[in-house]
A and B are shown apart, each in its own frame.
Chain A
Amino acid sequence: MELYMSLAIGVLFTVGVYLVLSKSLLRIILGTSLLTHGVHLLLLTMSRLKTGAAPLLGQKADAYVDPLPQALILTSIVISFGVTSFFFVLAYKAYQNLGTDNMEQLKGDDDE
Chain B
Amino acid sequence: MNNLLVIPLLIPLCTAALLVFVKNNIPAQRWLSAISMIGTTAVAAAIVYQVRAEGIQTLHMGGWLPPYGIVFTADLFAALLVLAASAVAFFCLLYSFGSVGEQRERYYYYPFFQFLLVGVNGSFLTGDLFNLFVCFEVMLISSYALIVLGGTKRQLRETLKYILVNILSSTLFVASVAYLYGVTGTLNMADLSQRVAEAGQGGILNVIAVLFMIVFSLKAGLFLFFWLPGSYSVPPAAVAALFGALLTKVGLYALIRTFMLIFYHNPDSTHTWIAWMAAATMILGALGAIAYTDVQKILNYNVIITVGFIAFGLAVANEASMDGVVFYLLHDMAAKALLFFLGGMVVRLTGTNSLTEMGGLIKRYPLLGWMLFVTSLAIAGIPPLSGFAGKLLILLGGIEEESFWLTGTALASSFIVLYSLIRMFMGAFWGEEKPLRSNSTSGSAKASLPATLMLPAAGLFIIVLAIGLGSEWVYRLAAEAGHTLMNPAIYIDAVLKE
Contact = CB atoms under 8 A, between A and B. Distances in A.
B130 A46 contact: no
Given A39-B174, A42-B175, A108-B230, A83 B163 contact: yes
A93 B174 contact: no
A98 B156 contact: yes
Contacts of B332: none
A87 interface: yes
Question: A interface, by DSSP: helix, strand, loop or mixed?
Answer: helix
A28 B164 contact: yes
Q: Which of B137, B144, B158, B161 has the largest count of A CB atoms less than 10 A from its CB? A: B137
A80 B158 CA distance: 20
Contacts of A20: 164, 168
Interface in B149-180: 151, 153-154, 156-161, 163-164, 167-168, 170-171, 174-175, 177-179
A35 B286 CA distance: 34
A20 B171 CA distance: 13
A15 B353 CA distance: 41
Nearest to B159: A90
A86 B144 contact: yes
Interface of B: 130, 133-134, 137, 141, 144, 148, 151, 153-154, 156-161, 163-164, 167-168, 170-171, 174-175, 177-179, 181-182, 187, 230, 294, 353
Nearest to A87: B163
28 contacts: A20-B164, A25-B160, A36-B167, A36-B174, A39-B171, A42-B175, A43-B174, A43-B177, A43-B178, A45-B178, A46-B182, A48-B182, A68-B181, A69-B178, A72-B174, A72-B177, A75-B130, A79-B134, A79-B170, A80-B171, A86-B144, A87-B163, A90-B144, A93-B151, A106-B157, A108-B154, A108-B230, A112-B353
A73 to B, nearest CB: 9
Contacts of A86: 141, 144, 163
Given A32-B168, A42-B175, A94 B156 contact: yes
A91 B160 contact: yes
Given A43-B181, A93-B156, A112-B294, 10 more contacts: A36-B174, A40-B174, A46-B179, A72-B130, A79-B170, A80-B170, A86-B141, A94-B156, A108-B154, A108-B230
